[in-house]
Amino acid sequence: MSPTAASRCFALVPCAGAGARSGAALPKQYVAVAGRTLVAHTLSALERVPRLVLTLVVLAPADTQFEALVPGFVGARGAVARRGGSTRAETVANGLAELAARGAAPHDWVLVHDAARCLIRPEWVDRLIDACWDDEVGGLLALPVADTLKDEHAGRVAATVERAGKWQAQTPQMFRLGRLREALALAGPNVTDEAGAIEQQGGAPKLVPGSLENFKLTFPADFALAERLLRTRE
């Protein structure tokens, strides 16, 4: 699975979760932020990366909202598959199978990106592609941990954790389709990100510096911060 001139880049966006921690009345990917749904911002940024030949959004099987809330996405470079699973890993694995069924080859690159990281910029995606294109393993956007870390027990500090050498994983995470499919199948359904599955099979993904703005919207306060940042961009 060495790099080849014939390799292509695909994006895969798992979008099947309920987002219970967000406090929203509907799945968080459909919450309006700065005038558009969260996932619409995400997909708009990916659309502006020319090297992505197709972005596949993996929805829950019963999702009936996407096309109405993200009009115009499906087309030559955008597709949906209602093949979401009960975990992120299962959803991604199903999405990889869908890409393969649509003609993606084992040596093609797949960039898996969280729908809830709606502040992603095209230039950050390009930076990841440039850094990983000739890499044997692939890699991910990430940030060195700057804050002091604490272990917790019963609401109190149990220990201070050494932060040197620690990085906070972000997305996209970029790996070859065949290798990632195999790694996810062996890792099981509870692995929390694609890099973790690759690591379990002996791979050492490359860390590519990301941005503080590329945070995952999870809690209610995150939406207010994203609103302010997106309005500032506009």
CATH code where residue 222 lies: 3.90.550.10
pLDDT at 174 over 50: yes
Confidence of residue 190 (pLDDT cuts 50, 70, 90): confident
pLDDT at 31 over 70: yes
pLDDT at 157 over 80: yes
Report the number of distinct structural domains present in the chain.
1
Contacts by 62-71, CB closer than 8 A, 24 or more apart:
63/16, 65/26, 65/27, 65/30, 66/15, 66/39, 69/30, 69/37, 69/39, 69/40, 70/37, 70/39, 70/40, 70/43
**Domain with 200 in it:** 9-141+169-233
What is the rounded average pLDDT of the residues 130-150?
96
Closest Cα partner for 62 from 21, 13, 27, 96?
Answer: 27
pLDDT value, residue 189: 81
Query: Is 153 within the bounds of a domain?
Result: no
pLDDT value, residue 18: 64
What is the rounded average pLDDT of the residues 64-77?
95
Confidence of residue 234 (pLDDT cuts 50, 70, 90): low
pLDDT value, residue 233: 86
pLDDT value, residue 20: 46
Distance CA 85, CA 18 (A): 12
Query: Is 155 within the bounds of a domain?
Result: no
What is the rounded average pLDDT of the residues 144-160?
95
pLDDT at 156 over 60: yes
Query: Is 2 within the bounds of a domain?
Result: no
pLDDT value, residue 24: 55
Lowest model confidence (mean pLDDT) among 22-36, 59-73, 103-117, 171-185: 22-36
Task: Tell the residue number behind the tokens 């084992």, with chain if given.
Answer: 106
Cis, peptide link before residue 122, omega less than 30° from 0:
no
pTM for the whole structure: 0.93
What is the rounded average pLDDT of the residues 169-174?
98
Query: Is 58 within the bounds of a domain?
Result: yes
pLDDT value, residue 170: 98
Query: Is 1 within the bounds of a domain?
Result: no
